[in-house]
Structure 1
Amino acid sequence: MDVRQLDWSLLQSFVRVASSGSLSAAARSSGISQPTLGRHMRALEEALEQPLFTRRPEGQTLTPMGHQLLAHAQQMEDAAARISLTAAGASARLEGTVRLTAARVVAHWHLPQLLARLRREEPGIRIDLVASDLPENLLHREADIALRMFRPERGDLSAQKVADLPLGLYAARSYLDRAGRPETLEALKAMDFVGYGRSDIMQRLMAENGWTASRETFPLRCEDQLVNWALVCAGCGVGGFQRVIADADPRVERIAEFLRLPALPVWLVVPEALRQVPRIARVRQALAEEMARIGAAARP
């Protein structure tokens, strides 16, 4: 077969399966059914007359040929994404859809009022909000704009730091009435903490204050930040949160101000090719102004 006639969808499915490590994982992440992905892999192997995977009970392992093809297929995917970005960047209309991704806490607390106001001011712009703590791939148009708590390192992304959100330690008043209000690090260490399932951010913050902690330090853990905060508010223990949100919650008190806690940086990120698209520039401007306002209000 002339490989120039390969169906591009087969290569896209190949990248998904190779990156995920199994048909089932690729199906969950892509929304394409597992039988369809399996058919695509068989059709691609038949077309190339080469095995691309070694099938094992725990998943799919790439063959040497599969490794070579993956590198080329990813380059093709990146090229296709850049073509799409270039075409989108030529739009001059202040209308259309803008896909925005933000962490769940930011999407829940900081964005609703802004987006309501933006919809009133710019009725031609539709917002597709992705509330997720996983980084979306901006170059592949999984999102047009991202609010992130870290600076991306790719040069083809435009990144603007728009705010610093101070953090604090909090516990429910009901828990503090029972366990006491800590005045020293030793007293704080004796308290229950609500941690995260996979993230080590709490351990790193503790280490910066001379406190070595492990997963076992946290009798209750939850990776979802909204649920994690609900556990703190319910009296399950001590947890960290943004001051601008937590200070306004009457269920909790800020404690242990003798600790050094950093501010949470907020970066506004957009592909360089889309930065001047009118609808994206308008949403980007509104986000930058709102997050800067929130950051200023949060400063002690």
Structure 2
Amino acid sequence: MCSSMSRLCRRGRPLGWCLAGFFCYFWRAVSAIPCPSFPGKLFPRRYHMKSRRILSILAAFASWSAVQAQEELLHYSFNDPNLQTTTAADAGPDGHGLTMYSADGEPAALQTGPGVSGKEGDHAFNNSGATGMGRNGQGGWAETAIQGEGTIWQRGLTSFTVTGWFQPTESQPSDTARIVYIQPSLEGNALTVWAVGGGRLELRIDKQKDGGQSEPVFGRKPGEWNFFAVTFDATKGSDNVRYYAGTESSSVREVGEGTLAIERWTPARGGSRTPIFVIGSGGREIQRPFQGHMDEIRFFGAEAGSDGAFDQEKLEEIRSEALAR
């Protein structure tokens, strides 16, 4: 057990595991050392009782620390070697595979190359066949149902990060176009990352529009891949939404901020409807497609604390990682 805790610590697990591992070795050592005050005897019983209490506290702290840490919940690379497939695998922990659909609602092979890295075998989600960008268009999408019961989606998140890449076909959307959309359960919270007029990004939770917008981040160079990231941190009373952008050749920079009045984002709260994660449009019910290619869509979150809202340095790592694939 002690060696297992030690290995977890060396692998960068939360501080609680390191402390628990240290105390495990300490416990094993003192249990076999005679007490100087009592020759020939082990430590008195009261020392063992205190040690057990401390170990319990440290173990609880380890569990708490693990809860604080962010998780990668969804990750879509669209790199299936079979370009005729109508599905896309999820590299996240729960395997929420996507099904891709054409504008008429039929499963469609919308995975094509090249992806953002430009390397052989790297593909992307292709929605360039949409008739327009935003309100006046009809186009494809990719979606998956999220089983929320007993999961982080039902317990809720205090912080999260959405990242991805897009290569718009049209320079600007008409009104608004959906990049990422989470349709919630009947009593849950919706989430949308919008592309809005002027080449800006906007995060909305439910129908709140106070999350601000980014500065213009796309539409200047046709055919250019744009990296985007949106973070939310409910532990902050203001400026809890931040926008970031980069390109294939430029590093991540912060491009805007805003404030949303919500203490916890919970998409799977109550009701019988299963939340649906959608890329590239609003899905079957509401279109507003994003016209172009999309790649490396990822979603991270934390149940408690601010670890789910990544800083600029971490986002630059994610941008660079996609280009190296």
Q: TM-score, normalised by structure 2?
A: 0.23
- Which has a greater percent of strand? 2
